[in-house]
């Protein structure tokens, strides 16, 4: 008993004054593939940071919270991390719906947020006036800019003209859908279908029947990993002839690439393990050493970069003072697996990390994700099914 008490006291003393980072992630629910991938990235970064001496001469401490991909669960979890666990900084964040809900408590507690996900523009609106909000993931208009460029080349090379859009009815899929349709039209495409769906319902029969009647060249869907297989199955079952299925989920289902139904489906990623830059190769080696496998989910390196850059800024600031750390993080210029990370203004927020130029397009070919565009990164030619 005495030993137990002594251990407890020693642990409490050693933890006192340590810099704490709260990490809120969807470790379960619709966004869990991204959340779990991100957690691995944070764990890897934490190991490296602490091996290198931690921050401010003490070990860095990470306190995880599971937002369960649901705003109603995320808010109390966020408040608990800030008020009970008394974290100095908050990191994480994948879902847009969750992040919008967090804007209230974040402003109430004036929380420092180094945020990796949440691409929808309502999040940008919600955090526009928050001076401690650092956003690493590109906003959805940057994503769309990259997609539009890719589709324009398909128009020239493959004669792609008709686009059918399927989007989930939450903020991730719905925000800016009118602008998306307008932009496609402006670029000379015919938008032959615009249909929303409930993510996770798996009921794509009617949607695919409508798409079949509209005869699109490209089916562009904005949803989550849970929708990928049911949609691909339904397309195949109803024999919907397409040049390309193009999806933009934050992550894909575990093992999806091994399913023949994934063949030729295309998507967007900030990173792939085959990315040739030295930081990416170092990350892949370290990740494999720690977890015994290689991830294809870009949320893993994104979380890794997120914690590394935050720790570097705290060290440079020499304290946990939010203004000083924000000033240092704003000056970040570091090489990453995605290319250089710097912060500049977006349309509405002050500190935006990665933008349109960081995206690459891949296709599931032969059990793996193969980069197919931009041409300079392409490892194989795109398979156009029509």
Partner 1 sequence: MDLFLQTLLNGLLQSGIYALVASGLALAVGVVGIVNFAHGEFLMIGAFMAWAASAFLGVDPLLSLPIVAVAVFGVGALTYRVSIRHVLLAPELNQMLLTFGLGILLQNLALMLLGGNTRTVTTPYQASSLSFGELSIGGPKAIAFGLAAALLGALYFTLYRTVLGRQMRAVAQNRRGAQLIGIPVDRVYLIAFGVSCGLAAVAGVLVSVLLFASPTVGLVFALKAFAIIVMAGLGNLTGVLWASVILGVSEALVQTYVPGGGGWSDAVFFLMIFGTLVLRSFRRTA
Shortest reach from residue 63's CB to partner 1, in Å: 19
- Name the residue nearer to partner 1 (CB basis): 103 or 226: 226
Distance (Å, rounded) from C-alpha 316 to C-alpha 153?
A: 44
Shortest reach from residue 297's CB to partner 1, in Å: 11
Compute the half-sphere exposure of residue 341: CA atoms within 13 Å on the CB side of its CA: 30
Compute the half-sphere exposure of residue 292: CA atoms within 13 Å on the CB side of its CA: 0
- Name the residue nearer to partner 1 (CB basis): 30 or 317: 30
Interacting residues with partner 1 (CB under 8 A): 26-29, 32-33, 35-36, 68, 166, 169, 195-198, 200-203, 205-207, 209-210, 212-213, 225-226, 229-230, 232-234, 236-239, 253-256, 258-261
The sign one gets for the Cα dihedral 192, 196, 201, 206 is negative
Shortest reach from residue 35's CB to partner 1, in Å: 7
- Name the residue nearer to partner 1 (CB basis): 160 or 222: 222
CA 165 to each of CA 115, 211, 234: distance values in angstroms, whole numbers, following the listed order = 28, 9, 15
Instruction: Give the residue from 311, 297, 282, 309 showing the smallest Cα distance to 369.
Output: 297
Can you list the positions of beta strands (E) in 161-222? 162-168, 190-197, 218-222
- Name the residue nearer to partner 1 (CB basis): 95 or 275: 95
- Name the residue nearer to partner 1 (CB basis): 256 or 373: 256
Distance (Å, rounded) from C-alpha 67 to C-alpha 35?
A: 9
- Name the residue nearer to partner 1 (CB basis): 69 or 352: 69
Task: Give one DSSP letter per residue of 143-162, joined into a string.
Answer: HHHHHHHHHHHHHHHH---E
- Name the residue nearer to partner 1 (CB basis): 251 or 358: 251
Shortest reach from residue 194's CB to partner 1, in Å: 9
Asked if the peptide bond before residue 252 counts as cis, ω within 30 degrees of 0, the response is: no
DSSP letter (8 states) at residue 356: G
* CA distance between the termini of the chain: 72
Distance (Å, rounded) from C-alpha 224 to C-alpha 247?
A: 9
CA dihedral 92, 97, 100, 102 (to 10 degrees): -50
- Name the residue nearer to partner 1 (CB basis): 160 or 207: 207
Shortest reach from residue 358's CB to partner 1, in Å: 26
Shortest reach from residue 346's CB to partner 1, in Å: 28
Shortest reach from residue 204's CB to partner 1, in Å: 9
Helices 32-51, 299-317: axis angle to 10 degrees equals 40
Shortest reach from residue 202's CB to partner 1, in Å: 4
């Amino acid at each position: 008993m005495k030993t137990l008490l002594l251990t407890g006291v020693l642990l409490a003393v050693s933890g006192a004054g340590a810099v704490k980072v709260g990490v809120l992630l969807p470790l379960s629910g619709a966004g869990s593939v991204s959340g779990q991938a991100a957690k691995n990235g944070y764990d890897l970064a934490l190991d490296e940071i602490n091996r290198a001496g931690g921050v401010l001469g003490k070990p860095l401490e990470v306190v995880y919270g599971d937002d369960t991909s649901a705003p109603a669960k995320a808010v109390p979890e966020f408040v608990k991390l800030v008020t009970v666990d008394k974290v100095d900084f908050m990191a994480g964040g994948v879902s847009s719906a969750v992040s919008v809900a967090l804007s209230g408590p974040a402003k109430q507690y004036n929380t420092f947020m180094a945020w990796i996900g949440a691409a929808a523009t309502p999040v940008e609106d919600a955090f526009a006036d928050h001076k401690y909000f650092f956003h690493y993931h590109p906003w959805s208009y940057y994503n769309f800019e990259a997609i539009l460029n890719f589709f324009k080349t398909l128009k020239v090379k493959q004669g792609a003209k008709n686009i059918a859009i399927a989007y989930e009815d939450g903020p991730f899929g719905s925000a800016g859908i009118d602008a998306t349709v307008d932009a496609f039209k402006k670029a000379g495409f015919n938008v032959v279908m615009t249909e929303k769906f409930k993510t996770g319902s798996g009921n794509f029969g009617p949607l695919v029947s409508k798409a079949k009647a509209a005869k699109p060249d490209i089916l562009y869907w904005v949803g989550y990993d849970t929708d990928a297989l049911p949609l691909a199955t339904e397309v195949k079952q109803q024999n919907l002839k397409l040049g390309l299925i193009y999806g933009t989920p934050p992550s894909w289902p575990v093992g999806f690439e091994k399913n023949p139904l994934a063949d030729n489906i295309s998507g967007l990623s900030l990173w792939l393990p085959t990315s040739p830059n030295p930081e990416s190769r170092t990350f892949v080696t370290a990740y494999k050493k720690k977890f015994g496998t290689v991830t294809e989910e870009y949320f893993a390196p994104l979380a890794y970069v997120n914690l590394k850059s935050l720790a570097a800024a705290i060290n440079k600031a020499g304290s946990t003072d939010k203004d000083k750390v924000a000033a240092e993080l704003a000056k970040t210029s570091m090489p990453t697996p995605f290319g250089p990370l710097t912060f500049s203004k977006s349309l509405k927020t002050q500190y935006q990390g990665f933008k349109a130029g960081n995206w690459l397009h891949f296709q599931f070919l032969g059990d793996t994700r193969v980069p197919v565009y931009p041409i300079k990164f392409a490892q194989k030619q795109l398979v156009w099914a029509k």
